[in-house]
Amino acid sequence: MSTGANGCEYSEVLREYALGELSRSAGEEIESHLATCEACSDEWSTLQFTLAALRSDGDHEIPQRIAFVSDKVLAPSGFRRFFDAVWNSGPKLAFLSASILAGAIVFSSMHRAPIMLQPALVQTASVSRADLETAVRQAVVKVREEDAKNTKLLLAAVEKKYGEKQRALLLSVDENFQVMQKRLSSYTMLASSDASRSGGQ
Amino acid sequence: MIFRAVEDTDLIARVKRGDVQAFNLLVSRWEKRIYNYLFRLTANSEDALDLSQDVFLKAYQNIRKLDDPERFPAWLFRIAHNEAQSLFRKKRPEVDLNEDLGLHMEPSHTFSLDLSLAVTAALDRLSPDQKEAVVLKVYQGFKFEEMSEILSCPVSTVKSRVYTALDLLKTELSSPKQARKGSS
């Protein structure tokens, strides 16, 4: 520290302490120094007196209050206040954006144009119940006729096949009978031949 | 004190959103200090009152430019300092800063009239810069850093003005001549 006006190195620091510029710890160091340095102690007393004298001339009351009553010229408009309140607030801005989006979606859904369906590819004719029943009966008859026809053909086919089998069987039997007959005649001839041989001896 | 600083911060935030009533409350808290600061500079009650009104008007119009609400006191007094300087520039050919122009004679209720007048006279003998530095330091309680911002000059310059002024005031207020004046 440099030497101050009173010849002591604490002189300038003393003034800073008197004017409230120093921390409490620094102030404690100054207090300790004041107890040992007469020059600083005298300067401290003079400083305190000067400051006390100055402060004796205290603040004066203001003769007329200054009031900023809501002056429309000065105050921002309601829109400006709303805009500032929303624009400067992130949550409010997000909420407002979401509200606008939700409102747009609701408005769009309520005023949606009706969907135009594609015309049917199949043209439907308008028929009466009687016609319908007649048509059904005719259709049933036709189906039955076809069924009968098919059945007859099937039976004929079965019969033909049966007949063929039967004929085949009869042929087979006949052939077997003929074979048996031939065998029997053979056996008979053999038997008569043997008998004649044995009788002639 | 800390609680009030927090409240001022809240009021400033509301004023920025356009709350005029919040600004009115802010004015009610600071008007006396601003008025006394300007009164000590101008030594004229009417001028101090007009300047105070201008100060708060400009503060309201420019408060959105205040980025750090903690700096509000220094910011407000800077406006007051500029307004006072503007007045001095306008009145320079006419105003004698040592002239008694409607000086408020009512002293502090706890000390004698003589001491109050002595203090006023001693302050008037300082240069305008020294006087303003003393007012900001002793009466308004600003730190040297804040005063540097208010007066737009280096901290060293601010310290020099304050210490020189205190030396002069020390002499003025503690001289035997002053003591004789007080007793007469």
Over the range A117-137, which residues count as b (16 or more CB within 10 Å of their CB) and which as e? Answer: eeeeeeeeeeeeeeeeeeeee
pTM for this structure? 0.60
- The pLDDT averaged over each successive group of 10 residues in chain B (184 residues) is 68 91 91 96 94 95 93 96 94 56 45 75 93 96 96 96 94 62 46
Q: Do B170 and A61 touch (CB under 8 A)?
A: no
pLDDT band at residue A88 under the 50/70/90 scheme: low
Query: Which positions in chain B touch A54 (Cβ < 8 Å)?
Result: 119, 123, 134, 138-139, 169, 173
A62–B49 CB contact, under 8 Å = yes
Q: Which of residues 76-95 of B touch A (CB under 8 A)?
A: none
B31 → closest Cβ in A65, A70, A74: A65
Which sign, positive or negative, has the C-alpha torsion A163, A165, A168, A172? negative
- Quote the CA–CA distance of A184 and A100 in Å, as a whole number: 117
Q: From CA A5, how far away is CA A21, in angstroms rounded?
A: 19
**Yes or no, beta carbons of A69 and B24 under 8 Å apart:** yes
Q: Which range, of A65-79, A155-169, B46-60, B68-82, averages the lowest pLDDT? A: A65-79
Whether B108 and A88 lie within 8 Å, measured CB to CB: no
Q: What is the pLDDT of residues A113-124, one digit of tens each?
A: 666 666 656 666
Per-residue pLDDT tens for A94-142? 888 888 898 898 888 888 766 666 665 666 667 788 989 999 999 999 9
Q: Give the tens place of pLDDT for each residue, A3-47.
A: 566 678 888 889 999 999 998 888 888 999 999 999 899 999 999
For residue A4, list chain B residues with Cβ-Cβ distance below 8 A: none
B134 interfacial to chain A (CB closer than 8 Å): yes
Query: What ipTM, to 2 d.p.?
Result: 0.79
